[in-house]
Amino acid sequence: MIELKDVSKSFTLHNQGSAVIPVMEGASLKVAPGECVALTGASGAGKSTLMRVIYGNYLAASGQVLVGGLDVAQAEPREILALRRETLGYVSQFLRVVPRVPTLEVVAEPLLAIGCDRQVALDKAAALLARLNIPERLWSLSPTTFSGGEQQRVNIARGFAHDYPAMLLDEPTASLDAQNRETVLSLIEEAKARGAAIVGIFHDIGARNQVCDREINVSDFTPGVAA
Amino acid sequence: MTPLLQVKGIQKHYGARIGCTGVSFDLYPGEVMGIVGESGSGKSTLLNCLAGHLEPDAGQVVFDTRTDGPVDTVTMSEPERRMLGRTDWAFVHQHARDGLRMSVSAGGNIGERLMAVGDRHYGQIRDRAIDWLGRVEIDGARVDDRPTAFSGGMQQRLQIARNLVTGPRLVFMDEPTGGLDVSVQARLLDLLRGLVREMGLSAIIVTHDLAVVRLLADRLMVMKDGYVVEAGLTDQVLDDPQHAYTQLLVSSVLQV
Amino acid sequence: MNEYNFAYLDEQTKRMIRRAILKGLAVPGYQVPFASREMPMPYGWGTGGVQVSAATLTPDDTFKVIDQGADDTTNAVSIRKFFENTAGVETTEETEKATVIQTRHRIPEAKLTEDQILVYQVPIPEPLRFLEPRETETRKMHSLEEYGLMHVKLYEDISQHGAISTSYAYPVKVSGRYVMDPSPIPKFDNPKLEMDAIQLFGAGREQRIYAVPPHTKVVSLDFEDYPFEATKADHPCDLCGAEDSYLDEVIMDDAGNRMFVCSDTDFCRSRRAQGHEGRLSKEGAV
């Protein structure tokens, strides 16, 4: 479902003497449907960078980034948009929403975007918010005013609203209490069970051991220091 | 799928000075594209060339019309182009006064496009005007008030209603949130986003505000000195800018 | 006896104006620009109508002038005298006898015939002017038949007054093509714009001539649910008893007494001559 072939990534800082900073080289990996793979490595090793390359948020310098058969590194913007709408979900660490939109709408949006019936979408959003213990009185408010933990749970609910065949999870259990952590882990298990291919970053070792089938150390893709 | 708009090699010079040059892109139904750049970068010139307000020196602006399929709007006859401007196209000006008739009531402003395409039933025109006031969050009781009695944010929303009432498929927007308070901007952006999705609109938005494009635009084009220096997915261009100018632009934004 | 060229204007100027008139007749409702001349009277006194009349009159014509329907106002008397002096044509106050009638703000009540020409004095020929001040833009709107704006004006009327309150200079569409300002005639007269006579419109200050040929379709703009209505004061004439003529309201004293009389003085006089009577005929003031 997700396959990287010899992907590299570097940043060119034009405004700082055109310094070229290579951050990733020869990255290859393959994630099958129903499989959950954890990215490991020290802070700054490039876990988030790799996720962003898969999502199309960062532009790969070379190599192929195949998600559901589409090469994200070469695709047209609209192809990537369609991929993100239908195939590839991403739960980032930060919630980014338009001010004023009620929480329930924020969570239902991915479903509405694929043309899901409005009531069905809102019902599913409500079920997810309830499961993640967001009090119902908050659903009609914009999440921009919520606490960090609440925002994170809204973000997760939104990420799991649509049954994406491929998912990227960036620290989904960070800053959650034990009960909500369990809920998120079962959401991941359910996604795997229905055949989603998942790539995740888990600093929470217990969580990683519970849901991940194998680990990939991104330090292997870090360019040689004295290359 | 046929692109709604195919822009091919648009070029506009002002004497020896370049307005914009070598601009090509396809816009598909439902897509929102942002054009960013500083003052004088050519983004407004480009927008006006696309919308038929300026005649480009070279290039094509091919629109997928309802009746005849893709037609080059640069070479089509003026009546046809103006008809397009009243039906399938809409143009939201930065200053509401440029897009509204200030001496005509809110209802008359919204109704004008309907009457222009032949609606002749006062009651129905008025009902649709009131309905649209509601959709842009203006109290229907103000249908007979003139825009001069409205706040800046309301005027801008009225302008949007006036433009969208005929159900256009492509909306051009020139700094739609410029000159508005931040809180008013947020409300307008939210409204625009909802309308774009609800109506399946395609839009081209010119702005210098990166926050606006991040929220509204799927795709982004960055212009400098009349040239497109970078284009791509909005979040990719903003988070991983490739061109020196884009990097400067992104890094110049104050973090709040 | 008089040292003027016939009808004051020189022959070259009259030819120029006649060409504009012919073009106007060929394109009904279209405003034809012409090189308006200085006339020996101020703008606003009918210089456009006077030039059209001058170019139209022949020595055999009988000329009549009305101002708001009356033959005896200063304006009407001056223009009639002007052509008596400069053209030596016969003049009349009787509508039926006239071959050329110059009018300000009315159409005579009597049905006009194919042998007559009605010349209107027009202050502002552009019906779109008050909504779109740019002449470049209004010309474009005419050429592209973009007349939605005209209905915006009527819409505003209804939204503010509950009905189309435009009561004079009511816009019409001529021959299914051009929207035209019929000059400030009351909308009561609009249905009469479809007539057997030739109608010529002259705007001196604005330098425009337009025309409606005989038997041309002239439709007053309206809404389906607010149809056009030719309205008048709901009274009979207090002098001749006519119920179908356009009336002027005359305040008679400080106590607020008033009377309604035909605005078309010739029409009223001829009815009274035939023995018709109104509420106040016996008092015999007129």
Per-residue pLDDT for chain A (227 aa), expressed as one digit of tens each? Answer: 899 999 999 999 888 888 898 999 999 999 999 999 999 998 888 899 999 999 999 999 999 999 999 999 999 999 999 999 999 999 988 887 777 789 999 999 999 889 899 999 999 999 999 999 999 999 999 998 898 889 999 999 999 999 999 999 999 988 889 999 999 999 999 999 999 999 999 999 999 999 999 999 999 898 875 34
- B187 or A23: which leads in pLDDT: A23
How far apart are the C-alpha atoms of B188 and B193, rounded to whole Å?
A: 8
Give the chains touching C; criterion: ≥3 Cβ pairs < 8 Å.
Answer: B
Token output for B133 = 């006031």
Residues of B in contact with C226 (CB under 8 A): 122
Minimum-distance CB partner of B218 among A12, A52, A77: A77
A88 Cβ contact partners less than 8 Å away, ≥ 6 residues apart: A54, A55, A67, A68, A164, A165, A166, A167, A168
B15 Cβ under 8 Å from any chain C Cβ? no
pLDDT at res. C2 = 53
Cβ-based neighbour number of residue C36 at 10 Å: 21
DSSP class of residue A45 equals S
Instruction: Check: CB of residue C274 under 8 Å from CB of residue C240.
Output: no
How buried is A17 (Cβ within 10 angstroms: 0-12 exposed, 13-18 middle, 19+ buried)? exposed
Which of A11, A23, A59, A83 to mutate to test binding with chain B, by most B CBs within 10 Å of its CB? A59
Residues of B in contact with C156 (CB under 8 A): 104-105, 108
Q: Which residues of chain C have pLDDT under 70?
A: 1-2, 283-286
Rounded to 10 degrees, the C-alpha dihedral A176/A178/A184/A188 comes to 130
Residues of B in contact with C160 (CB under 8 A): 105, 144
Q: Are B233 and A113 an interchain contact pair (Cβ–Cβ within 8 Å)?
A: no
Q: Are B116 and C224 an interchain contact pair (Cβ–Cβ within 8 Å)?
A: no
pLDDT at res. B56 = 96
pLDDT at res. C284 = 52
Q: Are B251 and A15 an interchain contact pair (Cβ–Cβ within 8 Å)?
A: yes
∠ CA B25-B27-B31, nearest 5°, is 135
- Is there a catalytic annotation at residue C162? no
What is the pLDDT averaged over residues B30-46?
93
pLDDT at res. A145 = 86
Q: Are B197 and A52 an interchain contact pair (Cβ–Cβ within 8 Å)?
A: no
Residue B123: closest C-alpha in chain C: C225
B24 Cβ under 8 Å from any chain A Cβ? no
Which of B112, B113, B122 to mutate to test binding with chain C, by most C CBs within 10 Å of its CB? B122
How far apart are the C-alpha atoms of B175 and B173, rounded to whole Å?
A: 6
CB burial string A92-105: b at 16+ within 10 A, e below: beebebbbebebbb
Instruction: Quick: pLDDT tens for B95-125.
Output: 999 999 999 999 999 999 999 999 999 999 9
Residues of B in contact with A57 (CB under 8 A): 233, 235-236, 239-240
- Is there a catalytic annotation at residue C29? yes
Catalytic residue among C29, C46, C48, C278: C29
Instruction: Quick: pLDDT tens for B70-95.
Output: 999 999 998 899 989 989 999 999 99
Which of B204, B213, B215, B240 to mutate to test binding with chain A, by most A CBs within 10 Å of its CB? B240
H/E/C letters for each residue in A85-99? HHCEEEECCCCCCCC
H/E/C letters for each residue in chain B? CCCCEEEEEEEEEECCEEEEEEEEEEECCCCEEEEECCCCCCHHHHHHHHCCCCCCCEEEEEEEECCCEEEECCCCCHHHHHHHHHCCEEEECCCHHHHCCCCCCHHHHHHHHHHHCCCCCHHHHHHHHHHHHHHCCCCHHHCCCCHHHCCHHHHHHHHHHHHHCCCCCEEEEECCCCCCCHHHHHHHHHHHHHHHHHHCCEEEEEECCHHHHHHHCCEEEEEECCEEEEEEEHHHHHHCCCCHHHHHHHHCCCCC
B195 Cβ under 8 Å from any chain C Cβ? no
B244 Cβ under 8 Å from any chain A Cβ? yes
Residues of A in contact with B240 (CB under 8 A): 11, 52, 57-59
Token output for C149 = 């704006």
Q: Are B121 and C131 an interchain contact pair (Cβ–Cβ within 8 Å)?
A: no
How far apart are the C-alpha atoms of B26 and B4, rounded to whole Å?
A: 8
- Is there a catalytic annotation at residue C237? yes
Write down the mean pLDDT value for chain B: 92
What is the pLDDT averaged over residues B3-21?
95
Cβ-based neighbour number of residue A10 at 10 Å: 14
∠ CA A57-A110-A58, nearest 5°, is 0
Catalytic residue among C48, C49, C237, C278: C237
How far apart are the C-alpha atoms of A166 and A197, rounded to whole Å?
A: 5
Residues of A in contact with B186 (CB under 8 A): 98-100
pLDDT at res. A227 = 42
**Closest CA–CA distance from residue A76 to any residue of chain B (Å):** 8
DSSP-derived 3-state class of residue A185: helix
C228 Cβ contact partners less than 8 Å away, ≥ 6 residues apart: C164, C170, C187, C190, C220, C221, C222
DSSP class of residue C38 equals P
B3 Cβ under 8 Å from any chain A Cβ? no
**Closest CA–CA distance from residue C17 to any residue of chain B (Å):** 31
The verdict on ipTM greater than 0.90 is: no
Instruction: Quick: pLDDT tens for B223-232.
Output: 999 999 999 9
Token output for A158 = 């939104």
- A127 or B184: which leads in pLDDT: A127
Token output for C61 = 């014509």
Percentage of residues in chain B having pLDDT higher than 70: 99
Q: Are B28 and A99 an interchain contact pair (Cβ–Cβ within 8 Å)?
A: no
The HSE-up count of residue A161 (CA atoms within 13 Å, CB side) is 31
- Is there a catalytic annotation at residue C268? yes
Which of C134, C139, C149, C151 to mutate to test binding with chain B, by most B CBs within 10 Å of its CB? C151
The strand order across the sheet containing B58-65 reads: B17-27, B5-14, B58-65, B69-72
CB burial string A144-180: b at 16+ within 10 A, e below: bebeeebbbbbbbbbbbbbebbbbbbbbbbbebeeeb
How far apart are the C-alpha atoms of B200 and A227, rounded to whole Å?
A: 50
- B255 or B252: which leads in pLDDT: B252
Residue B102: closest C-alpha in chain C: C131
Phi, psi torsion values for A166, nearest 5 degrees: -135, 140
pLDDT at res. C194 = 97
